[in-house]
Amino acid sequence: IYPTITNDYITITYPQQEFEYAIIDESGKRLIYGSGENRVEVNISFLMQGNYLVKVNQSYFKIIKK
């Protein structure tokens, strides 16, 4: 997942596999979700500034929305 600090988009890559993803706020609410294969760009420009978790299949990653 990159970039981890961003204003508008994140890119999720999961080579040669299908995956499900979710953007989760600090309260645990799932704000954005979807699925893809290999690479997906996700627009997060409308989210408020703060810390979010990105769940990709069963793994979690932290991002910061500026």
pLDDT in tens, 3-52: 999 999 999 998 888 999 999 999 999 999 999 999 999 999 999 999 99
Cα 49 to Cα 11, 13, 64, distances in angstroms: 18, 23, 7
Instruction: Output the pLDDT for position 55.
Output: 97
Instruction: Output the pLDDT for position 15.
Output: 87
Cα 20 to Cα 26, 33, 35, distances in angstroms: 20, 8, 4
Does residue 53 surpass a pLDDT of 90?
yes
Instruction: Output the pLDDT for position 43.
Output: 98
